[in-house]
Amino acid sequence: MAGIDIVRDEEGGLRVLEDNLRCPSGVSYVLANRAAMARVLPEIFWGRPIQMVADYPARLIQALRQSAPGGWPTRRWSC
């Protein structure tokens, strides 16, 4: 996983501010926030085209397995 922070400089050019090759830690905030908002204010989601995020962990592991050299065994992990 790569997290690259890009900013625009004074002349309008793009610069890489930070290049992080690690676990996408910011996603945990999105998942926790969405769960809390759905629990506390479920009506804000009604009738609005809001993208689902609950399946993110499964989609992430699927993408990582597909991109692994030589494939990866489809073994279930538990925490």
DSSP notation for 27-75: HHHHHHHHHHHHHH-GGGGTTS-PPP-TTHHHHHHHHHHHHSTT-----
Q: How far is CA 53 from CA 4, 7, 9, 27, 30, in A?
A: 21, 26, 32, 9, 8
Q: How many domains does the chain have?
A: 1
pLDDT of residue 41: 94
Convert the pLDDT of each residue in 21-63 to its tens digit. 766 667 888 899 999 999 999 998 899 998 888 898 898 888 8
In a domain, 73, yes or no: no
In a domain, 16, yes or no: no
In a domain, 19, yes or no: no
In a domain, 60, yes or no: yes
Residue 24 or 68, more confident: 68
In a domain, 3, yes or no: no
**Domain region containing 50:** 25-68
pTM over 0.75: no
Contact between residue 58 and residue 77 where contact means Cβ atoms under 8 Å apart: no
